[in-house]
Amino acid sequence: MRIIAADTVVTGPGRNFVTLRITTDDGLTGVGDATLNGRELAVASYLRDHVAPLLTGRDAGRIEDTWQYLYRGAYWRRGPVTMAAVAAVDTALWDIKAKAAGMPLYQLLGGASRTGALAYGHASGRDIPEILDSVRAVRAEGYRAVRVQSGVPGLDSVYGVDDPTRTAGTASGGHPRPHEETWDTAAYLRHIPRVFEAVRAEFGPELPLLHDGHHRLTPIQAARLGKDLEPYDLFWLEDATPAEDPTALRLVRGHTTTPLALGEVFNSVYDYGPLLSERLIDFVRSAVTHAGGVTGLRKLLDLAAVHGARSGIHGPADISPVGMAAAVHLDLAVHNFGIQEYTRHTAETLEVFRPSYTFEGGALHPSEQPGLGVDLDAEAAARFPYEPAYLPVNRLLDGTLHDW
Ligand code: GCO
Ligand code: MG
C-alpha cells in the first residue's frame, strides 16, 4: 500500500484548522490534524513544501519508520511546527492502517480498557454568581467534571473568561493585531480560593473540579495557590508555572498536595524529562496534534505510566475533530487514562469535519467505524477561507508583557 498523495487542507470554519489528507494507491484516505493556533500557515508550509514530497511512494503501513524518518531524518528535530506536521502524517497513517484492518483505531492500540473517556467541560464567569450559573449549564450539557475559570476583580479581560478569538483592530494590510488582556497576580491569588470555596459549597464534594493557571505564576506563587486550594480538593491545577522550567515544579510539588497537570505546549516526550522521572506532575497534557501524533502520544503515555502519571489530553476547540477523535481512541485504549478535555466544536466546524465519536453520560466514545471515524468534506472546507488570527497577549497593569 503506497502513498500517492498528501494534501494539506487549510480551512477557517469559525477558526482556522490545518489538516493533512493522505491517499494510497488502493484508494484509502487518512486524515491528520496539524493545527497550531495562531501559527497555522507555518505548519501548512512545512507540510506542503518539505514533507508531502517525501511521502509520495512510501509504504503507508510503515508508521514508526515514517515517524522516525520525519523526526530524526529532519536533523532539526522537535519544536511545535515540526511536531504538528509529524503528528498529522502519523495520525493520517494510523487512520489508513485501521481502515485497512477494518477496525476502529482503538482496537489497533490494544482494545478498550474502559467503557468511555470521562470528559471535562469549561465553566467561567466574571464573578461568582456567573460562575455558579456556568457550572450549572455545563453540568446540564451532561459533563461530570468541570474546569472553572474566573474573572479577577479590577481586571477587564482575563484568560478563560474573555473571548480568545477577539482581535485588537488591524495593522497595515488588514492583518489583525492580538487582543491584549490584563493581569495582576496578587489580585488573582486573593480571589481564586474564594471562587472554589463557593463552587464546592454549591455543588458538593464529589464533582471533579479543575483549574488552569495558564503559565502565569512564579514557583512560590504557584505553591501558595496549590496550598490555598487544597481544602477544595481539585482534580488538578494546570500550568501553574511556565512549562519550560521543570525545576519550578520541584518547589511547587514540595509545598502542596493539589494534583498538578502540565504539558499542553510541549511537543515531545523529551520535554517532560524530570517532570516525570521525579514525579513532579500527575497528568500529562500533550495533544495528539502537537506532540507527534498517535505514535508520539503513545511513547509519552507509556513513559508517564512508568512514573505514575496519567493522561489529560488537551482538547480545546483549536484541536480539530480529527485531533479529538485520535485522542478519544487513545483514551479508551491506554491503561493510565486520567481525563479528556472536551470543548464542543461549532456547527460551522462540524460542516467541514464529520466526527462520529459521541458524548454520552459525561464521557466520550469512539464510534465503531474503521479508522479514526472522521470524514473531511473538502467542498465545505473550501467554503471557509483561512483568516489570519492570533491568540491574545497579556500585560501586567503597568504594561509589562506577561505570559498569556
Ligand atoms: C486549555 C488551553 C487552551 C489554550 C489554547 C491555545 O487548557 O484548554 O490552555 O485554552 O489556551 O489551546 O491555543
Ligand atoms: Mg491549558
Average pLDDT for runs of 10 along the chain of length 404: 98 98 98 98 98 98 98 96 98 99 98 98 97 98 98 92 75 84 97 98 98 98 98 98 95 98 97 97 98 98 98 98 98 98 97 98 98 98 96 96 97
- Is 386 within the bounds of a domain? no
Q: Which ligand does the CA of 238 lie closest to? A: 2
**Do 58 and 3 touch, CB atoms closer than 8 A?**
yes
Residue 310 and residue 324 in one domain: yes
Residue 154 sits in the same domain as residue 234 = yes
Q: In a mutational test of the pocket of ligand 1, which residue from 122, 146, 264, 288 has the highest number of ligand atoms less than 8 Å from its CB?
A: 264
d(CA 307, CA 296): 17
80 ligand 1 Cβ < 6 A:
no
pLDDT at 113: 98
Q: Which residue has the cell 489580585?
A: 187
Nearest CA to ligand 1 atom 1: 316
Q: What CATH number did the domain enclosing 53 receive?
A: 3.30.390.10
* Main-chain phi, psi angles of 331, to 5 degrees: -55, -40
Q: What's the confidence (pLDDT) of residue 162?
A: 77
The single-letter code of the amino acid at 404 is W
Dist. CA 305–CA 17, nearest whole Å? 31
CATH number at residue 330: 3.20.20.120
| 347 located within any domain | yes
Show which of 104, 137, 164 is a domain's final residue: 104
Question: Where are any strands of DSSP class E within 188-239?
Answer: 209-212, 236-238
Q: 52 and 193: one domain?
A: no
Give distance in angstroms: CA of 36 to centre of ligand 2.
14
Q: Looking at the 3D structure of the chain, how many domains does it have? A: 2
3-state DSSP call for residue 180?
Answer: strand
C-alpha cell at 99: 481502515
φ/ψ (deg, to 5) at 347 = -60, -40
Which residues are identified as catalytic? 159, 214
Whether residue 391 is contained in a domain is answered as no
- Does the CB atom of residue 212 touch ligand 1 within 6 A? yes
Q: What is the pLDDT of residue 164?
A: 66
- Judge whether 394 lies within some domain: no
If phi over 0 gives left and psi between -120 and 50 gives alpha, with beta otherwise, what is residue 151?
beta
Tell me, yes or no, whether 143 and 192 share the same domain.
yes
Three-state DSSP class for residue 167:
strand
Q: Which pTM was predicted?
A: 0.97
**One domain for residues 257 and 307:** yes
Residues 67, 114: one domain? no
Ligand 1: atom nearest CA of 341 is 8
Residue located nearest, by CA, to atom 2 of ligand 1: 316
Nearest CA to ligand 1 atom 3: 316
By the CB criterion, residues less than 5 angstroms from ion ligand 2 are 212, 264
Whether 148 contacts 395, CB under 8 Å: no
Q: Which long-range contacts (CB under 8 A, 24 or more apart) does 34-37 make?
A: 34/8, 34/84, 34/85, 34/87, 34/88, 34/289, 35/84, 35/289, 35/318, 35/319, 35/320, 35/323, 36/80, 36/81, 36/84, 36/290, 37/318, 37/391
Q: Compute the distance from residue 64 Cα to the ligand 1 centre, in Å.
A: 29
Residue 391 beta carbon below 6 angstroms from any ligand 1 atom: yes
Residue ID of nearest Cα to ligand 1 atom 13: 37
Domain that holds residue 11: 3-104
Contact of 78 with 267, CB cutoff 8 Å: yes
Q: What is the Cα–Cα distance from 253 to 233, expressed in whole angstroms?
A: 16
- Same domain, residue pair 203 and 75: no
